[in-house]
Amino acid sequence: MNFREARGYQSRWENTGLPTGFSNFQFVDQHYGSDPVLRRIFSQARKHDYQSVLVEEVREADCALLAEENQALAVRSPDFQKAEVHRISFFRSSSDKAPRPEDFLGYAIFKWDHFGKESKPLACVFEAVMCPCRGVIQNNFIHCARRYEVNTTLGRFPVRGVLYAKQNNLTFVCAHAALRSALACVLPEGDISYARMNALAGIDHKSRCVGPVGDKTNGLSPQDLEKILDDLGVPYDKLIHEPKLVDPATGKPLIFPTEYQRELYGFIESGGPALLAFELDPRPGEPGEPSRHAVPAFGHTFNEDAWLPNAQRAYFGGAEAYYPSENWLSNFVIHDDNFGPYFCLPRHFLKQDNFRLMYGLKSAPTTFRATTAEAIGFNLCYIIAQTYPKRNQFWYDRFSVFARSGWLVLRTLLLRRDVYLADLEQMRDREGASLENDFCQRLRNVLPAYFWMVEIGAPELYATTRRKFGEILVAADKPAPPPFSPSLFLAARLPGLVLVNAGTGSLDVGPSQLRGHTPLFTSAKQPQACT
């Protein structure tokens, strides 16, 4: 029994609309010790113009998760006495009428842990799921948000969002909280307890503790994080940047060879969250290595008028002969357990110098990442454009010119076969033309369960109208190149032209009646509760 399902005991249901004079600041100051994370959560409810707040007490006897957390605290700190928990729910409707499902904006669990008789309780937001304030229409994209249901005294209500969690620095630390948020996006049950994570990592709060121990503060190592991910069977990629370490095989420092932001974008665009970890700037006088911190990253914003794509290539030595779609990204959307949910991390703020570690969680195992798939897709675009330079078709010929001139935009994501085929079957160009059924059927026969889709566009098509020339499909389960194996190429769909690799040693190439540009793939077609 988790905090969402546990029985609540209503202590207040208060109107909060601006005409009532309700003050978020005053409420959090009076009842929640001026907690800054809770103030952030209340401010997000205000952005949604919330009209009432419901506060319920959750008791240990009704919530196995609370009992489990308390038990861990008792082992970790023998002076632990008890915990008090409030479940705080936010509604668009006022307290004089029954809320409808669409009125629910989210909830937060606030927990006070009491130690000894004299000491002040430790208080924190244990978890929260709030509906994001910005959605697709504001160019904010969170593909891995989940739907949760909360069982309140006013009824059961749904909310779609990414679970936020904060460390208590005793039984779980920042890496726990970050990994919990990331795992909540991918695990079927939509959450994981700290007790389970600690059991998998071998943290028993006796022989091995996290948080402050003597004059040291213990955290989770990459090995611990991998143990948890491996035991849960969650596919992931690991990226390391440790410039102070040397690879014994080559004698070279372990400097990550590409920009970590492009890899992070690849995970997010494929619908996966990532755990992003970095080194803090050293504090004056602090002995030893600087501290490190981890946050979950799960979304991005998009700026269709970004200057960077052109400027990067023209002025700052960009070497690619295409535009990665990541060039139009402005911010990553993250939680930071220290500050609260749904912050924007500007793409160029967290420098490569500070980046240390990333785990990108995936929906299926792959033998290489999106950046490699994109490079393969780029190569294949060029080969196709060289082989078929001109077909006297308006949009194909423009694809070919943009490919041969180095002006394509490529966007790469990991897709499931049935999702791709469903998108393909309803796809139309502006003339209303669709793909031939027999091509869809052939793809159904040759495509594996998961593969990389490299979408191909031109800057003005991609950024302005969110459309594309077509796509190249690249195998995700073949050995990482080089050498190049033709089996990496699965199929291509371009304006008026389709290519399929049936594995016979040659590609089947044929015309198609779908000769125009088509919409980019978007997982945002799924209904979004809050946008």
Q: Does 137 bind another protein (CB under 8 A)?
A: no
Cβ contact 17:94 at 8 Å: yes
Element (DSSP H or E) covering residue 494? strand 489-494
Rounded to 5°, angle at Cα 354 from 275 and 244: 110
Cis peptide before 284 (omega within 30 of 0): no
Q: Which amino acid, 186? A: V
Distances (CA, A) of 291 to 196, 224, 274, 282, 402: 26, 17, 20, 8, 46
**CB nearer another protein, residue 127 or residue 237:** 237
Considering only residues 49 to 108 of the shown chain, the ones binding another protein according to CB under 8 A are none
Dihedral pair phi/psi, residue 394, rounded to 5°: -50, -55
**CB nearer another protein, residue 155 or residue 253:** 253
Q: Which of 199, 245, 422, 449 binds another protein (CB under 8 A)?
A: 245
Q: Which of 29, 230, 247, 431 binds another protein (CB under 8 A)?
A: 247
**Residue 354 C-beta: closest distance to another protein, Å:** 12
**CB nearer another protein, residue 206 or residue 244:** 244
Q: Does 509 bind another protein (CB under 8 A)?
A: yes
Q: Which of 188, 233, 482, 527 binds another protein (CB under 8 A)?
A: 482
Element (DSSP H or E) covering residue 213? strand 211-213
Number of chain positions touching another protein (CB under 8 A): 83
Long-range Cβ contacts of 420-425 (<8 Å, 24+ apart): 420/447, 420/451, 420/453, 420/473, 420/521, 421/447, 423/521, 424/493
| Candidates 22-30, 37-45, 343-351, 377-385; binding stretch for another protein (CB under 8 A) | 377-385
Q: 263-290 burial, b for 16+ CB within 10 Å, e for fewer? A: bbbbbbbbbbbbbbbbbeeeeeeeeeee
Considering only residues 31 to 50 of the shown chain, the ones binding another protein according to CB under 8 A are none
Cβ contact 415:373 at 8 Å: no
| Candidates 11-19, 141-149, 371-379, 409-417; binding stretch for another protein (CB under 8 A) | 371-379
* Cα gap 379→381, rounded to integer Å: 5
Q: Does 288 bind another protein (CB under 8 A)?
A: no
**Residue 221 C-beta: closest distance to another protein, Å:** 5
Contacts of 79 (CB under 8 A, 6+ apart): 115, 116, 119
Q: Which of 38, 357, 409, 472 binds another protein (CB under 8 A)?
A: 357
**CB nearer another protein, residue 85 or residue 297:** 297
* Cα gap 237→266, rounded to integer Å: 11
Considering only residues 194 to 223 of the shown chain, the ones binding another protein according to CB under 8 A are 218-223
Distances (CA, A) of 166 to 48, 91, 125, 174, 219: 23, 23, 6, 7, 14
**Residue 225 C-beta: closest distance to another protein, Å:** 8
Residues paired with 489 in a beta bridge: 474
Q: Does 499 bind another protein (CB under 8 A)?
A: yes
**Residue 83 C-beta: closest distance to another protein, Å:** 25
**CB nearer another protein, residue 133 or residue 178:** 178
Radius of gyration of the chain measured on its C-alpha atoms: 25
| Candidates 88-96, 199-207, 239-247, 344-352; binding stretch for another protein (CB under 8 A) | 239-247
Considering only residues 144 to 173 of the shown chain, the ones binding another protein according to CB under 8 A are 173
Q: Does 238 bind another protein (CB under 8 A)?
A: yes
* Cα gap 472→454, rounded to integer Å: 5
Considering only residues 462 to 481 of the shown chain, the ones binding another protein according to CB under 8 A are 480-481
Q: Which of 207, 250, 426, 445 binds another protein (CB under 8 A)?
A: 250
Q: Which of 378, 420, 452, 462 binds another protein (CB under 8 A)?
A: 378
| Candidates 90-98, 124-132, 335-343, 498-506; binding stretch for another protein (CB under 8 A) | 498-506
- State the Cα torsion 75-76-80-85 to the nearest 10°: -100
**CB nearer another protein, residue 115 or residue 256:** 256
Q: Which of 23, 258, 441, 522 binds another protein (CB under 8 A)?
A: 258
Contacts of 449 (CB under 8 A, 6+ apart): 364, 416, 417
* Chain position carrying tokens 């494929």: 270
Considering only residues 13 to 32 of the shown chain, the ones binding another protein according to CB under 8 A are none
Half-sphere exposure of 285 (CA within 13 A, CB side): 0
Site map for another protein, 316-345, x if CB under 8 A? --xxxx------------------------
Considering only residues 383 to 442 of the shown chain, the ones binding another protein according to CB under 8 A are 383, 387-388, 390-394, 397-398, 401-402, 404-407
Considering only residues 296 to 315 of the shown chain, the ones binding another protein according to CB under 8 A are 310, 313-315
Q: Which of 207, 437, 506, 526 binds another protein (CB under 8 A)?
A: 506
* Cα gap 531→528, rounded to integer Å: 6
**CB nearer another protein, residue 426 or residue 506:** 506
**Residue 477 C-beta: closest distance to another protein, Å:** 15
